[in-house]
């Protein structure tokens, strides 16, 4: 009769399991040791590469335009722009020369100019939008122009009437003053004549200002009208491009002001 091998008793089984676990822990420890060695090797290689990069070749240009190469920047060239090259001559880093006071002022001025240009462009866009929103036809611009000029013309007409009245009174006062001949002229006549002449001077200045204003208003509306035409034409082209069938044989010529 064949005897079956007996299984180890429970304590023996626990001991066998413990041996397996201890062997697995040893494998894990060996793995960690190998991984640490790999990381340290990589760090050593990186440090070596850094040392090689630090020992790069420097390239710079002197005041005479001569190009120099050296493994160290000389003291007199430290503040110059230079390039760092590796052992294969490949650019690693480029350092710009510090700006001189004049260059710094020029740079600040350029930044301010760009800011001003951007602000002006924003204002132009705003005005263009307002212009397109204010008028739907050229005739509307012409009507606004006519109303503005009519208002100024009314003010100038009032100034003309007032000026004529002042001129008449000035003539009367001059005649009264002449009537006294070599006699004493009453102070009231001199005071009134002085006041009238002052008002005449102000009125003439007002008339001149209103003439300039009328020219400015007319020019302003002429510019706005031309700008409106350009914007409207651009808007029509953009709308046509977005319309179905754009680019096909059925696409026609954009309408212009003379065709409407």
CATH of the domain at 151: 1.10.287
Span of 92-96, 178-182, 249-253 with lowest mean pLDDT: 249-253
Co-location of 112 and 185 in the same domain = no
Checking if the pLDDT of 48 tops 70, the result is no
- Find the Cα–Cα–Cα–Cα dihedral 64, 68, 73, 79, rounded to 10°: 30
| Averaged pLDDT of the chain | 80
- Name the band, by pLDDT with cuts 50, 70 and 90, for residue 100: confident
One domain for residues 85 and 120: no
Tell me what the mean pLDDT of segment 166-186 comes to: 93
Residue 162 is assigned to a structural domain of this protein: yes
Question: Would you say residue 76 has pLDDT above 90?
Answer: no
Between 61 and 155, name the one with better pLDDT: 155
Cα dihedral value 35, 41, 47, 52, nearest 10: -140
**What is the share, in percent, of the chain residues with pLDDT greater than 70?**
74
Query: Does position 128 have pLDDT exceeding 80, yes or no?
Result: yes
Q: Are residues 169 and 118 in the same domain?
A: no
What total of structural domains would you count in the chain? 3
Q: Are residues 121 and 154 in the same domain?
A: no
Q: Say whether both 115 and 150 belong to one domain.
A: no
What is the mean pLDDT of the segment spanning 100-106?
Answer: 87
> What does the alpha-carbon distance between residue 216 and residue 108 come to, in Å, rounded to a whole number?
36
Is the pLDDT reported for residue 258 higher than 70? no
The closest alpha carbon to 158, from 100, 113, 203, belongs to 203
Residue percentage of the chain with pLDDT more than 90:
48
Same domain, 141 and 130: no
- pLDDT reported for residue 35: 67
pLDDT at 259: 39
Question: Residue 24 pLDDT > 60, yes or no?
Answer: no
Tell me what pLDDT residue 39 has. Answer: 64
| Same-domain check for residues 163 and 217 | yes
CA separation for the pair 119, 113 (Å, rounded): 10
pLDDT recorded at residue 176 = 92
Whether residue 210 is contained in a domain is answered as: yes
Buried b (16+ CB within 10 A) or exposed e, 58-84: bbbeeeeeeeeeeeebeeebeebebbb
Q: Residue 255: its pLDDT value, please? A: 44
* Of the candidates 174, 160, 166, the residue with the CA atom closest to the CA atom of residue 196: 166
* Lowest-pLDDT choice from 50-54, 76-80, 97-101, 103-107: 50-54
Residue 128: Cβ within 10 Å count? 15
The residues, ordered by sequence, that sit 6+ positions from 70 with a Cβ below 8 Å of its Cβ are 57, 58
Do 25 and 65 share a structural domain?
yes
Is residue 199 one of the residues assigned to a domain? Answer: yes
Residue 254 belongs to some domain of the structure: no
Q: Confidence class of residue 33 from pLDDT cuts 50, 70 and 90?
A: confident
Q: What is the pTM of this model?
A: 0.51
Same-domain status, 129 and 201: no
pLDDT value of position 1: 44
* Residue 1 resides in a domain: no
Q: Looking at the structure, do residues 183 and 219 belong to the same domain, yes or no?
A: yes
Decide if 29 is inside a domain.
Answer: yes
| Residues 217 and 237 grouped into a single domain | yes
Answer whether residue 179 is part of any domain: yes
What secondary structure does DSSP assign to the chain, as a single string? -PPPPPPPPHHHHHHHHHHHHHHHHHHHHHHHHHHHHHHHHHHHHHHHHHHHHHTPEEEEE-TTS-EEEESS--GGGTTS-EEEE-TTS-EEEEEPPPPPHHHHHHHHHHHHHHHHHHHHHHHHHHHHHHHHHH-SSHHHHHHHHHHHHHHHHHHHHHHHHHHHHHHHHHHHHHHHHHHTTTSPPPHHHHHHHHHHHHHHHHHHHHHHHHHHHHHHHHHHHHHHHHHHHHHHHHHHHHHHHHSTTTTSTT--PPP-GGG-
Q: What is the rounded distance in angstroms from the CA atom of residue 207 to the CA atom of residue 158?
A: 10
Compute the distance between CA of residue 198 and CA of residue 169 in angstroms, rounded to an integer.
12
**What does the pLDDT read at residue 49?**
55
Same domain, 87 and 123: no
Query: Residue 82: what pLDDT?
Result: 80
In a domain, residue 255? The reply is: no
Residue 129, domain extent: 99-134
């Amino acid at each position: 009769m064949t005897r079956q091998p007996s299984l180890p008793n429970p304590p023996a089984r626990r001991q066998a399991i413990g041996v397996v676990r201890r062997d697995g822990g040893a494998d894990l420890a060996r793995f960690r040791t190998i991984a640490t060695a790999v990381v340290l090797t990589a760090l050593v290689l990186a440090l070596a590469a850094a040392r090689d990069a630090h020992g790069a070749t420097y390239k710079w240009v002197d005041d005479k335009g001569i190009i120099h190469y050296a493994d160290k920047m000389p003291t007199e060239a430290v503040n110059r722009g230079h390039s760092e090259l590796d052992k294969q001559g490949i650019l690693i880093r480029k350092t710009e020369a510090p700006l001189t006071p004049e260059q710094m002022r020029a740079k600040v001025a350029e930044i301010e100019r760009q800011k001003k240009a951007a602000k002006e462009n924003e204002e132009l866009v705003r005005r263009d939008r307002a212009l397109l929103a204010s008028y739907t036809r050229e005739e509307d611009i012409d009507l606004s122009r006519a109303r503005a000029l009519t208002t100024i013309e009314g003010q100038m007409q009032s100034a003309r009437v007032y000026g004529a009245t002042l001129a008449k009174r000035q003539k009367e006062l001059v005649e009264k003053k002449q009537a006294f001949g070599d006699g004493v002229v009453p102070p009231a006549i001199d005071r009134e004549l002085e006041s009238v002449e002052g008002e005449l001077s102000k009125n003439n200045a007002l008339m001149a200002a209103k003439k300039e204003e009328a020219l400015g208003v007319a020019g302003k509306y002429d510019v706005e009208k031309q700008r409106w035409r350009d914007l409207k034409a651009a808007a029509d082209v953009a709308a046509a491009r977005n319309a179905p069938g754009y680019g096909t044989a059925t696409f026609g010529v954009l309408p212009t002001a003379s065709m409407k």
